[in-house]
Every structure is written in structure tokens, then in C-alpha cells.
């Protein structure tokens, strides 16, 4: 079972309390550990967290810098514990525009945990579904040009194999907190048949109980994948 979470609402959580947006991001970041810890108990084998989109660079420089600081802190504080808990960490998105020290931390975390067999944790940073498709298209086109791939051999599987999520199953459930009813460029290829859920809490208030309720509701969903209803 693969769950994707669009961790939204940190800013509103803070401003509705008269606090700075970054206070909300800090509270949001502190929820991650608990949700990661509870995932295996809930039957989740892959968890993808949308942390920063390719569009989030449009925000004020100090907010972007504050978010980058939180990524650094999260990776530093959780490196050993994630490894100890047998979690395999991968990053989705284009790391190129990120600061060199952040990229090094990302490589260290994914390198250290690459042989772990517990929860698969994907962290999407500077991730955009359209950007991912562009990067996949470029690498497919390069193979066609150098003759290692023929145009007729391009299938759905070829596209999957060139996405950041290669070798991983599509998300079964995508949860977006804080009430917006959209994907905001999250896994637009992989979400073709994902169930969508919009719990009415902001990310800093997303507890293990709310998470469990989402999975319970998911268990009652009927997924047809285009088939006729079996009843």
C-alpha cells in the first residue's frame, strides 16, 4: 500500500493563530516523525511526502530559506533513527537547484538507507509532476537518438521506468490536508487511479489518529480500474 501526502496548511495554521508562517512550517515538520513511525502499523509500505513543489520557489525568500533550514534539520536529526528503524529513504524531484550541503545530506541519507527493507519513504523536494515528465521525456528521447531505444518500443512501462518513482508502485491513496481540492502538480502521472482524500485538518494537526481514520475510509472505497462493477 502506497500513500502519498500533500502536507498543506502550515501557513494558514500559523496565521489563524497570529503566528508567522514559518512557525506553522516548524510545527508541520515536527509531525513527520510520528506519521513515518505509524505507517508500518497501518499497513503502509510506501509513504511519499510532498515537501516542496517546483512552484514553491515563488514564495518570499525568507520563507523558502526557512523551509530549506527545516529540511536540513529534519535530515540531520533523523538520519540515524530512520536507518535504525529500517526505513529506506529516496528523494523525488530535481535536486539540481538545491544548495550543495542539502544535496549532500540527501545523498548521505539515501545512500545509508538504500539496502533497508522496511518502510519506503519518498520525500518530494523541488518536485513537480510536469517537471518529472519533462525529465523522463528527455532521457527517453536521448535513448532514441543514440539508438538504444526504438520509438515503437515506448510503452506505459517505459514512461514509468524513467520517472523518479521507477520500480515503485503507484500511490493507492493520496491525502491532502487543509481543504484544497487539487493535486498542485503532485504525481500527475502516477495518480491516474489513486483514491483521493481531503481530511479537514491542516498538516500541523494531522495526527496518527486522523491518519488511521483516512486508511479506514480508504478500506471502504471500491476501486474498479475501468472494470465493470462486480456486483
Active site (annotated) includes residue 41:
no
**Cβ nearer to ligand IPE, comparing 11 with 171:** 11
- Is 206 a binding residue for Mg ion by CB under 5 A? The answer is no
Window contacting Mg ion (CB under 5 A); options: 7-15, 35-43, 44-52, 90-98 = 7-15
Among Mg ion, ligand IPE, none, the one that 51 touches (CB under a kind-dependent 5 to 8 A) is ligand IPE
Q: Which of 6, 8, 49, 121 binds Mg ion (CB under 5 A)?
A: 8
| Torsion on CA atoms 213, 215, 216, 217, rounded to nearest 10 | 90
SS3 string, 180-195, reads CCCCCCCCCCCCCCCE
Among ligand IPE, Mg ion, none, the one that 184 touches (CB under a kind-dependent 5 to 8 A) is ligand IPE
Among the options 10, 56, 122, 126, which is catalytic? Answer: 56
**Cβ nearer to ligand IPE, comparing 84 with 180:** 180
Active site (annotated) includes residue 8:
yes
**Cβ nearer to Mg ion, comparing 5 with 215:** 5
- Is 8 a binding residue for ligand IPE by CB under 6 A? The answer is yes
Provide the b/e sequence for 53-80 (b: ≥16 CB within 10 Å).
bbebeeeeeeeeebbbebbeebbeebbe
Residue 188 contacts residue 166 (beta carbons within 8 Å):
no
Q: Which of 39, 46, 48, 56 binds ligand IPE (CB under 6 A)?
A: 56
Residue 6 contacts residue 203 (beta carbons within 8 Å):
no
List residues binding ligand IPE (CB under 6 A).
6-12, 50-53, 56, 67, 178, 180, 182, 184
Give catalytic residues, as residue numbers: 8, 56
Amino acid at each position: 500500500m502506497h500513500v502519498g501526502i500533500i502536507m498543506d496548511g502550515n501557513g494558514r495554521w500559523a496565521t489563524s493563530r497570529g503566528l508567522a508562517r514559518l512557525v506553522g512550517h516548524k510545527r508541520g515538520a515536527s509531525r513527520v516523525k510520528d506519521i513515518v513511525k505509524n505507517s508500518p502499523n497501518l499497513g503502509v509500505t510506501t509513504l511519499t511526502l510532498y515537501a516542496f513543489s517546483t512552484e514553491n520557489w515563488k514564495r518570499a525568500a525568507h520563507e523558502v530559506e526557512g523551509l530549506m533550514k527545516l529540511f536540513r534539520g529534519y535530515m540531520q536529526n533523523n538520519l540515524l533513527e530512520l536507518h535504525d528503524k529500517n526505513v529506506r529513504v529516496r528523494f523525488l524531484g530535481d535536486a539540481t537547484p538545491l544548495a550543495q550541503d542539502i544535496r549532500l545530506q540527501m545523498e548521505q541519507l539515501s545512500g545509508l538507507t538504500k539496502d533497508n527493507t522496511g518502510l519506503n519513504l519518498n520525500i518530494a523536494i523541488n518536485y513537480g509532476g510536469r517537471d518529472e515528465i519533462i525529465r523522463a521525456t528527455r532521457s527517453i528521447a536521448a535513448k532514441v537518438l543514440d539508438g538504444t531505444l526504438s520509438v515503437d518500443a515506448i510503452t506505459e512501462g517505459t514512461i514509468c521506468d524513467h520517472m523518479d518513482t521507477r520500480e515503485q508502485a503507484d500511490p493507492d491513496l493520496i491525502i491532502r490536508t487543509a481543504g484544497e481540492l487539487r493535486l498542485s502538480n503532485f504525481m500527475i502521472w502516477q495518480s491516474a487511479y489513486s483514491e483521493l482524500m481531503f481530511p479537514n485538518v491542516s498538516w500541523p494537526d494531522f495526527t496518527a489518529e486522523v491518519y488511521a481514520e483516512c486508511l479506514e475510509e480508504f478500506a471502504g472505497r471500491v476501486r474498479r480500474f475501468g472494470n465493470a462493477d462486480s456486483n
